[in-house]
Amino acid sequence: MKYDISLNTLCADDFIRLFSLAGWGEPERELVETSLKNSYVTFAVKNGEEVIAMARLIGDGGMAFFLKDLIVAPEYQGEGIGRSLLEYIEDYIRSQLKEGWWSYFQLMSAKNKDEFYLKCGFKSHPHERSGHGFTKIIKKEKNNG
C-alpha cells in the first residue's frame, strides 16, 4: 500500500469527517473523544497529512477483538485500501497474541458491504459455530431540568 498507517493517532476531527462521509451522521465530539480514548487501538491511513481511512479495534487483548468504524473516504475506495488496512489489523492482532493463542476477530458489516468481508475471509452469521450478530442502541436522554 502506498499510504502510511499509524496507530493511535486518529483525532476526533478526522473521525467525525470520515464517519460523516460514510453517511452515518455526525456524532458529538465528546462522544467521539471518549470512544477513541477507550478503544484498544485506532488506525489512521494517511495520504501525506490527510487521513483517508480509519478503523478502531476494541477488545480484551486475547480471545476477542471487534472491528469498529472501518471507513475509507469515498474518493479513495476501490484502490485496495480497505483490504490492506484489514490485513494490517489482522497482523496487529496476531502481534498481540502469545504463541498458541487464538482470537475471534468479529465485526458488524455496514449495509451493502457484506461481500467485501466475505472476500476477506470472514464468515457470515450464523454459521456452524455461532448464531446471529445483534445490535441494540442504548441511549441516555438529556436532562432538560
DSSP assignment of 35-55 equals HHHHSSEEEEEEETTEEEEEE
Q: Of 81, 76, 73, 38, nearest to 57 (Cα)?
A: 38
Task: Write out pLDDT tens, residues 23-78.
Answer: 999 999 999 999 999 999 999 999 999 999 999 999 999 999 999 999 999 999 99
The confidence score (pLDDT) of residue 70 equals 93
The one-letter amino acid at 13: D
DSSP 8-class letter at 88: H
The reported pTM is: 0.85
The confidence score (pLDDT) of residue 117 equals 67
Average pLDDT over residues 97-122: 79
The confidence score (pLDDT) of residue 131 equals 72
Residue 135 has pLDDT above 80, yes or no: no
Rg of the chain taking only CA atoms, in angstroms: 16
Can you give the residue ranges of every domain in the chain?
A: 4-119
145: its cell numbers: 431540568
Task: Give strand ranges (E) for 8-139.
Answer: 41-47, 50-59, 64-72, 104-107
The confidence score (pLDDT) of residue 145 equals 64
90: its cell numbers: 489482522
The confidence score (pLDDT) of residue 41 equals 98
Q: Which residues pair with 127 in a beta bridge?
A: 130
- Average pLDDT of every residue of the chain: 89
Crossing angle for the helix pair 29-38 and 12-21, to the nearest 10 degrees: 110
The confidence score (pLDDT) of residue 1 equals 65
CATH fold for the domain made of 4-119: Aminopeptidase (3.40.630)
The confidence score (pLDDT) of residue 129 equals 72
